[in-house]
């Protein structure tokens, strides 16, 4: 059974190091759908959808990120599943 989470990544260093593209590649590898985007204040937010095992892998991945990332804190919350979503996309930065 699928579930969906929202996540917010607080960093020392999470922007300008391909965190979003890295996360997108891992999501595709894990079979997770959703989205990710940079937001103001050295933070990243997004949503991820998949089964329990897929989401556990995804959360583990976003807690470490790509090389050179410094993740200070990750917040997650269960949210309603989105039907018909087919991919994990990188959204434009919101400032």
20 is catalytic: yes
Q: Determine the structural domain holding residue 19 and report its residue range.
A: 3-90
Q: Mean pLDDT over residues 10-20, rounded?
A: 94
Examine the pLDDT at 31 and tell me if it is beyond 90.
yes
For the question of residue 2 being annotated catalytic, the response is no
pLDDT of residue 33: 99
Which helix (DSSP H) or strand (DSSP E) does residue 65 occupy?
Answer: none
pLDDT for 95 beyond 90: no
Residue 95 lies in a domain: no
Asked if the structure places residue 73 within a domain, the reply is yes
Question: Residues 20-54, buried b or exposed e (16+ Cβ, 10 A)?
Answer: bebbbebbeebebbbbbebbeebbbbbbbbbeeeb
68 domain residue, yes or no: yes
pTM: 0.94
Question: How far is residue 52's CA from residue 92's CA, in Å, rounded to a whole number?
Answer: 28
Domains in the chain, number: 1
Of residues 20, 26, 51, 95, which has the active-site annotation?
A: 20
Active-site entry in 4, 38, 51, 68: 38
Q: What is the pLDDT of residues 45-90, one digit of tens each?
A: 999 999 999 999 999 999 999 999 999 999 999 999 999 999 999 9
């Amino acid at each position: 059974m699928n579930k969906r989470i929202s996540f917010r990544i607080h960093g020392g260093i999470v922007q300008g190091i391909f965190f979003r593209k890295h996360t997108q590649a891992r999501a595709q590898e894990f079979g997770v759908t959703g989205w990710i985007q940079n937001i103001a204040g050295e933070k990243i937010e997004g949503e991820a959808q998949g089964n329990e095992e897929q989401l556990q892998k995804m959360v583990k991945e976003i807690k470490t990120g790509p090389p050179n990332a410094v993740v200070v804190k990750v917040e997650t919350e269960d949210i309603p599943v989105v039907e018909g979503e087919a991919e994990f996309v990188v959204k434009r930065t919101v400032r």
